[in-house]
Amino acid sequence: MSQQILPERGEVAVEPLLDAPDIRHEPPAPESATTPVTAPAGRSRLGVVLALAGTGLLMQGAADALERTGHESLALPLFLCGIALPFAACAWRLTGTHASRKERIWVSLVLGLGLLASYVMHHPLLLDGFDELLHVGTLEHLLDSRAVFPTNSILPVSPYYPGLELVTAATRWLTGLPLVVDELVVLAACAIGTSARSEMAASVRPRLSFKLEKRRVGP
pLDDT in tens, 135-172: 888 888 888 887 788 888 888 888 888 888 899 999 99
How far apart are the C-alpha atoms of 207 and 205, rounded to whole Å? Answer: 6
CB atoms under 10 Å from CB of 118, counted, come to: 19
Paired strand residues for 4: 13
Start-to-end Cα distance in the chain: 38
pLDDT at 83: 92
Among the listed residues 160, 163, 168, the one whose alpha carbon sits nearest the alpha carbon of residue 143: 168
pLDDT at 213: 55
How far apart are the C-alpha atoms of 58 and 108, rounded to whole Å? Answer: 20
pLDDT at 9: 54
pLDDT mean by block of 10 residues, the chain; 219 residues: 51 52 53 50 85 94 89 90 93 87 90 90 79 85 83 85 89 90 90 77 55 54
Cβ partners under 8 Å of residue 68, min gap 6: none
Among the listed residues 210, 164, 206, the one whose alpha carbon sits nearest the alpha carbon of residue 189: 164
Cβ partners under 8 Å of residue 202, min gap 6: 104
Longest dimension (CA), the chain: 121
What residue spans define the domains of the chain? 45-99, 123-211
Number of H helices, E strands in the chain: 6, 2
pLDDT at 69: 87
